[in-house]
Amino acid sequence: MKELLSIKDLVTEIPLRDTVVYPVDHVSFSVNEGEAFGIVGESGSGKSMTCRSILRLLQPPAHVTHGEIVYDGKRISDYTENEFAAVRGKGISMVFQDPMTSLNPVLRIGEQIFEAFDASLTKQQRQEQAVELLKQVGISSAEERLKEYPHQFSGGMRQRAMIAITLARNPRLLLADEPTTALDVTIQDQILTLLKKLQRERNMGVVFVSHDLGVVARFCERMAVMYAGQIVEMSSVEEIFSNPQHPYTIGLMNSMPSLQKVSEWLVPISGMPPDLRALPQGCRFAPRCPWASSECEKAPIAISETAPGHFSRCLKAAEMKKLVSDAKNERHE
Amino acid sequence: MSPNEEPLLRVESLSKNFVKSQNWMDALVGKKPKMLHALNQVSLTIPAGQTVGLVGESGSGKSTLARCLIRLYRPDEGRILYRGVDIAQLPEKQLQEYRCKMQMVFQDPYSSLNPRLTIGGMIEEVIQVHNIRPANERKDYTASLLQRVGLPPDAMKRKPVALSGGQRQRAVIARALAVNPEFLIADEPVSALDVSIQAQIINLLHELQQDLNLTMLFISHDLRVVRHISSKIVVMYLGKVLEVGNANDLYLEPLHPYTKALLQAVPTLENVKSVKEAALQGETPDAYEVPVGCCFQNRCPNVMPICSQIEPKMIEHSPDHFTACHLFSS
């Protein structure tokens, strides 16, 4: 399988009045052609900022200060703004979370799709292709729908229209930033099925950002877990769920209620996500970690490969299985 | 609950319509304004000391029902029996007494707290208005409430901006508890929170419910969350109740096709890697024109000719498990 996107040591900083914070702190990962890569994390973990950094959609004063982004064998992080315009949309495209705020309310849906097409197309071709796109994303009576405004669309329909716009230039990589968070479960289910189908048909690479482990488990092949700007664990989806090697991942899985009620009480992660302005010196998760020792608090922890293709940023990754089963036994006693 | 025990709350054929605002042209020519049927003949009982989960997608009428129950809305038809007293049409003055017994926790802790008051200030306001404690005891009482919901003592002097989402939701819960309610409605209390914080708040609500013997109506669109906390589940769609049952029965053996689809649509860690067809096609129709017959007919995979003619009645399929679907009415 061919590598489509590779990111090495990406750093994004936001200068504040008296300090600097790093919402993306030395993030590295890669996505293959036709592969879905998930990024899971809570708000403020840097998952959306990572996507925006890749596509250069950061809002100043946030900016990328370090790192290499290679797309399709080309170092796009060195591109000038003009050169980059050719990558955006045609090479890499993005679906945003909230379909209400990412569509222009005063333009017809049709016009917003036409905008995305190559300028060389004739009006006739645009019309035909737009109708075809809307059909592909499952919008019926497409001709009439093109003449409507976003407010006439339901939430699910708007997200379908958004997807149609992002697909207008046949991108090879799609960044999907919480594309289903604002939607109802049955509609979320429809959109996920649709995205999966389109991804397969077009052999697209997808970076799928979500806070919902269940959604990522369903959609992705490989995934990364982010915490306070860093990737803390990365592996294939099956591996992470069957053999998690970072306490934060384990905490997330435990705190998620499931349809099969296992116990009366959930096991939440204690404390709160850290303030990026005052990060702990050592492991960023140490203050909330049930297994933290003094060693964890001394110096920053490097991410290391604990098994082939499985990376964890934890000193105790090797003994994690035992720690988890001990904790489980304790809870049951 | 034994059958002859009176439930805390009994709702009988409750309806609530909203009138769509008209443009002046239509008003001038005397067109009838459109009606949105937010609640359509809803009946349910909430047994004392239990948590009832209410699930449904947006537009199903969950929040409207909650707001009718605590009389933030006045229902158009039907009865709300609170310990046998009908409060559906009670005038505001007589409602005061019930306001202390029923409290609500709203979805968005960012917009349900007054940004200009301190947390202590807004809780004391409640205590003062309802005259819960004399003036000299208010501070101590507030402090005890904050401790009860797991907030640090110095939260009292802080304003909402200085608190995180989870802490704000704790403050909202403390405010609701200030009047010693019997009945707590939690309307999507964790939807705006992060996963790790969600679990903390769910545990807190569950603990409070048990310790204070509260009756709770827990509203959520997330079936996983509802499953965890409720003993009885109500499924709503388009302003109607489609299925009611004990949590175990309903999750293990859902009856109504809509409940089945909802459960199938939930992404869980257990059914990893199942690229299947979407559980349900189409979208919830708007509630301006409710179809004749079953309200779910246009999305139902098991639709039959009778569904578009006669509205299915709520029947008891197995003990304490009710559904309104022609598949089960013989």
Write the ipTM: 0.84
In B, minimum Cα distance to A262 occurs at B228
Across the interface, of B202, B269, B281, the residue whose CB is closest to A258 is B269
Instruction: State whether residue B14 is helix, strand or coil.
Output: strand
Tell me which of A44 and A22 has the higher pLDDT: A22
Q: Is residue A153 part of a domain?
A: yes
Rounded to whole angstroms, how far apart are CA atoms B43 and A324? 46
All residues of chain B having their beta carbon less than 8 Å from the beta carbon of residue A267 are 199
Q: Which amino acid is at A5?
A: L
Size of chain B in residues: 330
Taking all residues of chain A, what is their mean pLDDT, rounded to a whole number? 90
Query: How crowded is residue A19: how many other Cβ atoms within 10 Å of its Cβ?
Result: 10
What is the number of structural domains in chain B? Answer: 1
Rounded to whole angstroms, how far apart are CA atoms A233 and A225? 5
What pLDDT, on the 0 to 100 scale, is given for residue A234? 96
Using the beta-carbon criterion (under 8 Å), do B57 and A218 form an inter-chain contact? Answer: no
All residues of chain A having their beta carbon less than 8 Å from the beta carbon of residue B281 are 190
What pLDDT, on the 0 to 100 scale, is given for residue B271? 59
All residues of chain B having their beta carbon less than 8 Å from the beta carbon of residue A256 are 195, 199, 224, 269
Structure confidence by residue, pLDDT tens digits, A283-311: 999 999 999 999 999 889 999 999 999 99
Q: Is residue A11 part of a domain?
A: no
Using the beta-carbon criterion (under 8 Å), do B283 and A157 form an inter-chain contact? Answer: yes
Rounded to whole angstroms, how far apart are CA atoms A13 and B83? 59
B102 CB-near residues (< 8 Å, 6+ apart) = B69, B70, B82, B181, B182, B183, B184, B185
Series of mean pLDDT values for 10-residue runs along chain B (330 residues): 70 90 82 86 93 90 92 93 91 88 88 90 92 91 93 91 89 94 93 86 93 94 89 93 93 93 82 64 78 89 91 92 89
Q: Is residue B119 part of a domain?
A: no
Q: Is residue A210 part of a domain?
A: no
Paired strand residues for A205: A173
| A310-312 and A304-307 beta bridge pairing | antiparallel
What pLDDT, on the 0 to 100 scale, is given for residue A261? 67
Mutate to test the interface with A, among B110, B252, B269, B286 (most CBs of A within 10 A): B269
Which of A238-247, A256-265, A314-323 is the least confident region?
A: A256-265
Q: Is residue B100 part of a domain?
A: no
Rounded to whole angstroms, how far apart are CA atoms B298 and A10? 49
Q: Is residue A70 part of a domain?
A: no
What is the number of structural domains in chain A? Answer: 2
A140 at the B interface (CB within 8 A)?
no
Q: Is residue B230 part of a domain?
A: no
Q: Is residue B5 part of a domain?
A: yes
What pLDDT, on the 0 to 100 scale, is given for residue A291? 92
Rounded to whole angstroms, how far apart are CA atoms B300 and B260? 11
Q: Is residue B189 part of a domain?
A: no
Q: Is residue A188 part of a domain?
A: no
Instruction: State whether residue B16 is helix, strand or coil.
Output: strand
What is the mean predicted confidence (pLDDT) over A270-277?
87
| A310-312 and A92-95 beta bridge pairing | unpaired
What is the mean predicted confidence (pLDDT) over A220-239?
95
Q: Is residue A272 part of a domain?
A: yes
Q: Is residue A213 part of a domain?
A: no
CA nearest neighbour of B329 among B320, B319, B321, B314? B314
Q: Is residue B99 part of a domain?
A: no
CATH of the domain at B51: 3.40.50.300
| Phi-psi label, residue B213: left if phi above 0, alpha if psi -120 to 50, beta otherwise | left
Q: How close does chain A come to B57, measured CA to CA in Å?
A: 6
Q: Is residue B138 part of a domain?
A: no
Q: Is residue A320 part of a domain?
A: yes
CB pairs under 8 A between A and B: 138
- Spacing of C-alpha B204 from chain mean position: 18
Residue B176: HSE in the Cβ half-sphere, 13 Å Cα cutoff? 29
What pLDDT, on the 0 to 100 scale, is given for residue B109? 83
Token pair of A241 as six digits:
């769920």
Residue-range definition of the domain harbouring residue B293: 1-86+236-268+275-330
Structure confidence by residue, pLDDT tens digits, A144-195: 889 999 988 888 888 889 999 998 888 999 999 998 887 888 888 888 998 9
What pLDDT, on the 0 to 100 scale, is given for residue B2? 46
Q: Is residue B204 part of a domain?
A: no
What is the mean predicted confidence (pLDDT) over A316-324?
88
- What distances in angstroms separate CA B237 from CA A144, B38, B256, one per listed residue? 28, 10, 11
Rounded to whole angstroms, how far apart are CA atoms B293 and B11? 22
All residues of chain B having their beta carbon less than 8 Å from the beta carbon of residue A251 are 196
Rounded to whole angstroms, how far apart are CA atoms B232 and B250? 9
Residue-range definition of the domain harbouring residue A125: 106-165
